[in-house]
Amino acid sequence: MLTKRIIPCLDIKDGRTVKGINFVDLRDAGDPVELAALYADKGADELVFLDISATEEKRKTLADLVYRVAEKVNIPFTVGGGISSVEDVDILLKNGADKVSINSSAVKRPELINELVAKFGSQCIVVAIDAKQIDGNWKVHLVGGKVPTEIDLFEWAKEVEERGAGEILFTSMDHDGTKNGFANKALAHLSEMLNIPIIASGGAGAVSHFTDTFVNGKADAALAASIFHFKEIEIKDLKEALQKEGIPVRL
């Protein structure tokens, strides 16, 4: 059985780490480079940096931040936000990112996934999907969750896999920041229908939520933000608890 991964997520706005609830009400959570180094030291398996203002404000993710993070950490990290071309990805990977995450740009032009995979390989390309339930159906949302679409989560996830993406980062907007647990039913369905890894995002608030998403949600990795930023759960303690539950983790 493959080792389950614990991934702190750093949402970046104006060069600072921020955290909100249901994608709004942002508050400052610290310097992203310092936090990255801290998490790498404390046993995180990977990191994700999402420039949450990048798509909305039509800015490119700062390559400078990627370079500074790469100097400080020795674990893989993914960067997303406003990435819409082969050139964007090339700059980020050359500055030290291990993977890139695309979201709105992939929905608007799905061929982008094929182009990036052809140029850089599946292992570098993560497709992030933000979705929420509308009338009982999971619908994809764009631009940091602000723009709803009629696109079905599961149909889009299948297309993403078929186009060659190496991984899917699924955030339940209904669960994001609530600390009530992950969207395990949707995660399990994604895991059962796809062959690529699924990262669970949105809703982590307790150690038991991670256990649940690995066992019931069948997630390959779990991502969280505020519980790590504000030291509500230590990564080492979390991993030791998971190991006691028989869940394989890297200690």
Contact 173, 131 (CB under 8 A): yes
Cα separations (Å) of 192 from 64, 158, 175, 221, 246?
A: 38, 11, 21, 15, 21
pLDDT, tens digit (0-9, with 9 covering 90-100), for 202-234: 999 999 999 999 999 999 999 998 899 889 999
Within 10 Å of residue 214's Cβ, how many Cβ atoms?
A: 25
pLDDT digit string (tens) for 34-91?
999 999 999 999 999 988 765 555 455 568 899 999 999 999 999 998 899 999 999 9
* Tens-place pLDDT, residues 104-146: 999 999 999 999 999 999 999 999 999 999 999 999 999 877 8
Average pLDDT over residues 158-168: 98
11 is catalytic: yes
pLDDT digits (tens, 9 = 90+) for 19-31: 665 555 677 767 8
Give alpha helix (H) positions in 50-201: 63-72, 86-94, 104-108, 111-120, 153-162, 184-193
Q: Which of 45, 130, 176, 220 is catalytic?
A: 130
Q: Can you tell me the distance from the alpha carbon of 52 to that of 158, in angstroms, rounded to the nearest whole number?
A: 25
Tell me the mean pLDDT in the region 154-163.
98
Cα–Cα dist 105/120, whole Å: 17
pLDDT at residue number 25: 64
Catalytic, 31? Answer no
- Give the pLDDT confidence score for residue 58 in this predicted structure: 46
- CATH code for the structural domain at 5-244: 3.20.20.70
Nearest to 230 by CA among 45, 79, 4, 18: 18
Q: Using one digit for the tens of pLDDT, what is the confidence trace for 232-248? A: 999 999 999 999 999 99
In the chain, what is the straight-line distance between the N-terminal and C-terminal CA atoms, in Å? 16
Catalytic residue among 11, 88, 176, 220: 11
Extents of the domains making up the chain: 5-244
